[in-house]
Amino acid sequence: MKLTHWLAGAVLALGAALTLSGCSTHAASNKLTVVSSVDFYGEVAKAVVGDYGTVTSVIDNPDIDPHDYEPTTAVAKTVARANVVIVNGGGYDSWMDKLVGADSGTVKVVSAAKVVGIRDGENEHVWYKPEVMPKMARALAKQFGALDPKHRAAYTANATAYIKKLQPLTAQIARLKAKAAGQAVAVSEPVFSNALSALGYRIINPHFAAAVEESTDPSPKDIRELTAAIKHKQIAFFVQNVQVESKVVSNIVAQVRAAGIPVLKVTETMPAKQTYTSWMMSQYAQLEKIQNTQK
Ligand SMILES: [Zn+2]
């Protein structure tokens, strides 16, 4: 292992010598190179870095399952060239931590989980925390400004402008929160649970949801309890991650519909041709409709 590493180092050193002129040009241009594990953090990074850097998102296709993702050597090279790497954190994209760990130690990491205070083992779907993007915009402006003090004011102004653009979403969340009033809901799996908790909903089937997320069968007891709650209309709505296929979940959704309970459809990854804001707002608009039919 050590020998392989040494050899790899020698090859890298040779490569570095050959591309030395390219490197100094890069340094002179002062442009920041930012790599994000997933596209929605890449979006906020682009907004904040503006004209003074480039942003690459590794997972930028809604059909890639981030839970199962494994990076290619091309991705490893891209990460090795980065000044700043953005991770979701919380164990969601630990492949990126490994790539960064294998690097020389100069790359700065901004973790969304750390920015909003989510620890390992907690729900890792950090982008469903309503405060995540305003906080990320500020954290990125700070990091970019530290690396490139000449444009610090621009990064701060870009972050403020991005946060302002989030205002319709922030307002929508506030309206939803006012009506949630601690109502009980059930979920197919935990992707949307950070949003539900922030809005004030109570999730009655976390054990069932965890089993589905781990691709194992929920226990007969979990299924029995959920079926009873549906039958007695004890939930305001059911949240379905439409990107997870599960026979158990399909059966539950059929029961939910038969009982006349609304289904809120959400996704793990950002759909094609959407922005973070439009994606969130379309899901929250569905929820607003559900709330309005219930009042
Ligand atoms: Zn997930």
Cα 192 to averaged position of ligand 1 atoms, centre (Å): 9
Residue 84 and residue 87: Cα distance in Å, rounded? 10
From the number of C-beta atoms within 10 Å of its C-beta (0-12, 13-18, 19+), residue 114 rates as middle
* 44 and 82 both lie in a single domain: yes
* d(CA 118, ligand 1 centre) in Å: 15
In a domain, 68, yes or no: yes
| Cα 212 to ligand 1 centre (Å) | 10
Let me know whether 36 and 78 are in one domain: yes
pLDDT in tens, 194-235: 999 999 999 999 999 999 999 999 999 999 999 999 999 999
Domain assignment present for 283: yes
241 Cα to the center of ligand 1, angstroms: 9
User: Are 20 and 141 found together in one domain?
Assistant: yes
Q: 199 and 274 in one domain?
A: yes
Same domain, 148 and 199: no
Summarised one tens digit per residue, pLDDT across range 241-255 is 999 989 999 999 999
Kindly state the average pLDDT of the residues 48-55: 98
Query: Residue 15: its pLDDT value, please?
Result: 38
Task: Give the per-residue pLDDT at 102.
Answer: 82
Look over the chain and give the mean of its residue pLDDT values, rounded to a whole number. Answer: 90
Q: What is the pLDDT of residue 5?
A: 35
Is residue 4 pLDDT above 80, yes or no?
A: no
At 11 the pLDDT is 38
In a domain, 21, yes or no: yes
- pLDDT at position 26: 43
CATH number, position 158: 3.40.50.1980
Domain residues for the domain of 67 are 6-165
| Nearest one of 290, 234, 283 to 262, comparing CA atoms | 290
Distance 68 CA to ligand 1 centre (A): 10
Residue 80 confidence (pLDDT): 92
Helix (H, G, I), strand (E, B) or coil at 55: strand
Final residue of a domain: which of 165, 194, 212? 165
Asked if residue 118 belongs to a domain, the reply is yes
**Are residue 27 and residue 147 in the same domain, yes or no?**
yes
In-domain check, residue 51: yes
User: Residue 263 falls within a domain, yes or no?
Assistant: yes
Q: Does the pLDDT at position 286 exceed 80?
A: yes
In this prediction, residue 19 has a pLDDT band, given cuts at 50, 70 and 90, of very low
| C-alpha 268 to ligand 1 mean position (Å) | 6
Q: State the CB neighbour count (10 A cutoff) for residue 82.
A: 23
Three-state secondary structure call for residue 238: strand
Residue pLDDT, tens place only, 22-41: 343 344 467 999 999 999 99
One domain for residues 161 and 181: no
Last residue in a domain, options 165, 199, 232: 165
- 179 and 126 part of one domain: no
Which secondary-structure segment (H or E) carries 261? none
**How far does residue 145's CA lie from ligand 1's centre (Å)?**
32
Q: How confident is the model at residue 3 (pLDDT cuts 50, 70, 90)?
A: very low
- Using a pLDDT cut of 70, give the percent of the chain over it: 90
Q: Do residues 35 and 73 both lie within one domain?
A: yes
Q: What is the pLDDT of residues 139-179, one digit of tens each?
A: 999 999 999 999 999 999 999 999 999 999 999 999 999 99
Name the domain boundary from 112, 136, 165: 165
pLDDT tens digits, 84-118: 999 999 999 999 999 998 877 789 999 999 999 99
Residue 1 lies in a domain: no
Placement of tokens 């102004």 in the chain: 157
Ligand 1 midpoint to CA 190 (Å): 7
Ligand 1 centre from 35 Cα, in Å?
21
pLDDT at res. 22: 37
pLDDT tens digits, 53-69: 999 999 999 999 998 89
Task: Examine the domain organization and report whether 112 and 68 are in the same domain.
Answer: yes
What mean pLDDT comes out for the span 174-192?
Answer: 96
CA of 9 from ligand 1 middle (Å) equals 36
205 domain residue, yes or no: yes
pTM equals 0.88
pLDDT of residue 32: 98
Specify the number of domains making up the chain: 2
Going across the sheet that includes 108-111, the strands are 53-59, 32-38, 84-87, 108-111
pLDDT of residue 23: 40
* Shared domain check, 161 and 237: no
Q: Looking at residue 142, what is its pLDDT?
A: 98
Residue 249 CA, ligand 1 centroid: distance in Å:
15
* 76 within 8 A of 56, measured Cβ to Cβ: no
Ligand 1 center–CA 214 separation, angstroms: 9
Q: Does residue 57 sit in the same domain as residue 176?
A: no
Residue-wise pLDDT for 253-279, tens only, equals 999 999 999 999 999 999 999 999 999
236 CA → ligand 1 middle, Å: 23
